[in-house]
Amino acid sequence: MVDNKVLVSEVMVPGGHAKAFEVKKGQLLQIIDAEGGQVADFIAFNQKDHSEKLSPTHTRISLKSLTLKVGDTLRSSMRRPMFEIVEDRSPSHDILIAACDEQRYLVDYGVAEHRSCVANFEEVLAPYGIGRETFPDPFNIFQSTHIEQDGTLVQEPCKTAAGDFIVLRALEDVIGAVSACPMDLNPIGGSQVTDVMVRVYKGEGAAA
Ligand SMILES: [Zn+2]
């Protein structure tokens, strides 16, 4: 899908940190697990109106599904299409789990001053005037979870291999942010925290 596309921008997200980036309507956003086994939390905002954000809960009811597949449209908090999944070379994603924050490490693991996805997003979105009180739940790209017959929600080690990726087509101009999740106290991200690559490509037509 992206093989013969023109690269617009590329950012390397260091393991445990986040980066923000812009994606214009029609452009393709590729999120790549550089080494494998790394969860990439992803949030996004309408560039013209930051109160509209990419929303897992509105996407779930739109898709009538707890999982994602190629062709699915990801909805915003205004229930409008914000991204379409155009290619997916990764085993799974999660659209159920809250992003890790300081309290996740403190309350659940007794660890203070641990890096977190929410604090990471706060760092990189501050220049855009977007604060943590407005953050939506994330799309947990590459995360593996499943629900058992009795309703138990099971978080599993990430199953991605090095180079696995997903490609989304932006359906609006957006500001996005990806956090290479710093969780190292449970096995969801494998045995170590590693880097994530984010690439933006021109879409179809000259305007994009
Ligand atoms: Zn996290």
How far apart are the CA of 99 and the centre of ligand 1, in A?
5
Asked if residue 2 belongs to a domain, the reply is: no
Check whether 34 has a pLDDT greater than 80: yes
Asked if residue 13 belongs to a domain, the reply is: yes
Burial 59-78 (b: 16+ CB within 10 A, else e): bbeebeeeebeeebebbbbe
How far apart are the CA of 50 and the centre of ligand 1, in A?
22
Q: Would you say 30 and 42 are in contact if contact means Cβ atoms under 8 Å apart? A: no
3-state secondary structure of 54: strand
Residue numbers of the domain that contains 98:
7-146+153-201
How far apart are the CA of 181 and the centre of ligand 1, in A?
4
What is the residue type of 167?
V
Asked if residue 79 belongs to a domain, the reply is: yes
Check whether 26 has a pLDDT greater than 90: yes
Asked if residue 1 belongs to a domain, the reply is: no
Asked if residue 207 belongs to a domain, the reply is: no
Number of domains into which the chain is organized: 1
How far apart are the CA of 179 and the centre of ligand 1, in A?
7
Check whether 205 has a pLDDT greater than 70: no
Residue pLDDT, tens place only, 49-93? 999 999 999 999 999 999 999 999 999 999 999 999 999 999 999
How far apart are the CA of 183 and the centre of ligand 1, in A?
6
- The pLDDT of residue 187: 78
